[in-house]
Amino acid sequence: MDPTISIAHPWRGTYCFHMTENIIVRVALYAGGIYLFLNLLALLFSEKLIFAPQASSYVHLPDELKITTGNGEKITAVYLEAPGAEYTILFSHGNAEDLGKVFPFMQQFHTLGYSVLMYDYRGYGTSEGSPSVRKAYQDIDAAYRWLVEEKKVAPKTIIVQGRSVGGGPATWLAAHREVGGLVLESTFVSTFRVKTIVPLLPWDKFDNLRHIKQTTCPVLVMHGRNDAVLPFWHGKKLYEAAPGEKMNLWIDEAEHNDYAYVAGSDYFDSFQTFMEMVRDENEDRIIRTE
């Protein structure tokens, strides 16, 4: 036999095929394991990352009250009632704030003639219990029902406002209850997409993007272009997803924690302009129902 002639061995191709197949299977198993591990981590620790309650910054506040939640736990709230107010603001604060920290700022809305109800999530300030996404929804719903049932506030005159993590319960409420308007300041598309543009997990918490698509009220979205905590694209995407009447206030130099300060007078000017939009929408609703 000519030594220069090579003889093909059929088993070599089969062997290579099985080697490649085994590698693919192993990679898939490793990737699947990592993916399941990420889901488990998110399930176990996500709410500890979402909520960061600090020691209460207050003992008692003016006009303080207690609201009972669905399971009997009580949350602390402050109601600043403006006699003859046309609209009432229901405010949800950020994850490292409590009533003591936001009280001075929210007083400015009261000075402008709005009634204001602000509250602490469970586990925050002097509220009972511990926080979670599910409880945050229950907390804002309890505050909403207190306004409607105890104070006889008309739902269409309630402006629900959420800052940062407070945008989660605020957007949920606007999607599930009748409100006059929704205001979002420096909030996010969803919890797990704070650091990723594309969704990595098949489930999420505080799915604001889904909820805002279900709203029927006017929406105001405010966000700083220099926000490094919740990058600007979050606010822009939420604004684009809002299906009804809407407006935005993008502040070029504003970061996450100084938005209102950098916005200055534009902050309240935009809010007042938004309220005109809400009034017009309410008038249109009346006309459509006649």
Domain boundaries, the chain: 47-289
| pLDDT for the residue numbered 51 | 82
| C-alpha distance from residue 180 to each of 11, 161, 273, 285, 290 (Å) | 73, 11, 14, 11, 19
The answer for residues whose C-beta is within 8 angstroms of residue 75's C-beta and 6 or more apart is 66, 67, 69, 119, 120, 121, 122, 127, 128, 139, 142, 143
| pLDDT for the residue numbered 156 | 96
CB-based contact 245:275 (threshold 8 Å) = no
| pLDDT for the residue numbered 282 | 86
Can you tell me the distance from the alpha carbon of 14 to that of 6, in angstroms, rounded to the nearest whole number? 18
| pLDDT for the residue numbered 42 | 46
The kind and range of the H/E element at 117 are strand 115-119
Q: Which two tokens stand for residue 133?
A: 């996404």
Can you tell me the distance from the alpha carbon of 40 to that of 145, in angstroms, rounded to the nearest whole number? 35
CB-based contact 150:80 (threshold 8 Å) = no
| pLDDT for the residue numbered 190 | 86
| pLDDT for the residue numbered 35 | 41
Q: Which residues are catalytic?
A: 164, 227, 256
| pLDDT for the residue numbered 198 | 53
Q: Which residues of the chain have pLDDT under 50?
A: 1, 3, 5-7, 31, 34-35, 37-45, 193, 202-203
Residue 84's closest CA among 117, 44, 115?
115
Q: How many residues does the chain have?
A: 290
52 phi and psi angles, rounded to 5 deg: -135, 65
Superfamily covering domain 47-289: Alpha/Beta hydrolase fold, catalytic domain (3.40.50.1820)
